[in-house]
Amino acid sequence: METIVSILNKTTDFLQKHGVPNPKLDSQLLLSHGLGLKRMDLFLNFDRPLQEQELSALRQIVARRAKREPLQHIIGSVSFRGHHIKCDKRALVPRQETELILDMLKENMNNVLDVGTGSGAIAIAVALELNANVTACDISEEALSLAKENVALHKLEEKISLVKSDLLSNVPNNIKFDALLANLPYIPLCDKNSLQPEVLNGDPHLALFGGTDGLDLIRKLLNTCANYLKPNAPIILEIASGQEKILQSESFAGIKWVENQKDYANQTRFSIFQKC
């Protein structure tokens, strides 16, 4: 009879043969999800026999992962700074690197603008951790429907306002924001074929690609955001490493470049501007 440890080992080998990154970790997460156990409980119950009904359910989700469906879509959620965020094909899967954007915000923020909110992960973290009011906008109705579910999940309807908007086109202009955060599409079109299948087939292309050099939407935002911000308000943008050099060499209306920040892998991940 199959046990937890035997299925863990077989699943790891199977995923590895299909080119899945981190097959051992993914195996543990899939089994803990499929069996309704905490990941630590797997190690405490290595020799527990598995019933055929359990094995059948596990085979289905392991097969999905082997086809390179994103792990987060199979599980249905992801942890973002410890906050439970529901995720699926409607929006970009929140990345661990993006969590760092919160560490660059000062306290005493009353109103924060989150542009390209996607699943709403950043807006939710800002509202919970800084107790700020957040206006979160996105051009995608599907993304906003997912963000609405996540906002409701955390009971933040009174703290977070969701707005369908092409960048700032429908953002209220009667509020001067203390900060603007944006994780906009920044992947150059020429890099499309180098992406992992999980990204290329799992995330909406609308949330991935930003034109020839990846910066089309970021430039547009930088040139139109000054009138929405208080003096000296920071504009924190997630970018790809190397794009900071391009942004630093260009001028934008009413704002100035301040600094860049790196991610967990010591790669430049954020470019920070400020209203003049």
Instruction: Report pLDDT for 190.
Output: 87
Last residue within a domain, chosen from 43, 67, 91 = 67
Is residue 154 domain-resident?
yes
CATH label of the domain that carries residue 256: 3.40.50.150
Do 206 and 240 lie in a common domain? yes
Q: Which of 24, 41, 67 is the last residue of a domain?
A: 67
Q: 75 in a domain, yes or no?
A: no
Structure tokens, 111: 């109103």
Count of the separate structural domains present in the chain: 2
Per-residue pLDDT tens digits of the chain, which is 276 residues long:
899 999 999 999 999 999 999 999 999 999 999 999 999 999 999 999 999 999 999 999 999 999 999 999 999 999 999 999 999 999 999 999 999 999 999 878 999 999 999 999 999 999 999 999 999 999 999 999 999 999 999 999 999 999 999 999 999 988 999 999 999 999 988 888 888 988 888 888 888 889 999 999 999 999 999 999 999 999 999 999 999 999 999 999 999 999 999 999 999 999 999 998
**Residue 73 lies inside a defined structural domain of this protein:** no
Q: Do 53 and 88 fall within a single domain?
A: no
Are 33 and 149 in a shared domain?
no
Packed helices 4-17 and 52-66: angle between N→C axes, nearest 10 degrees: 20
Same domain, 121 and 92: yes
Amino acid identity, position 258: V
* 63 and 138, same domain (yes or no): no
DSSP result, 227-258:
GGB-TT-EEEEE--TTHHHHHHTS-BTTEEEE
Q: Is the pTM of this model over 0.75?
A: yes
- CB-based burial, 214-250: b 16+ in 10 Å, e otherwise: bbbbbbbbbebbbebbeeebbbbbbbbeebbeebeee
Regarding whether 62 and 86 lie in a shared domain, the answer is no
Q: Are residues 85 and 57 in the same domain?
A: no
CA distance 244 to 10: 44
162 and 264, same structural domain?
Answer: yes
CA dihedral 19→20→23→29, nearest 10 degrees, is -160
Is 109 found in the same domain as 12? Answer: no
Q: Is residue 76 part of a domain?
A: no
> Containing domain of residue 56, as a range?
4-67
- pLDDT of the residue at 57: 95
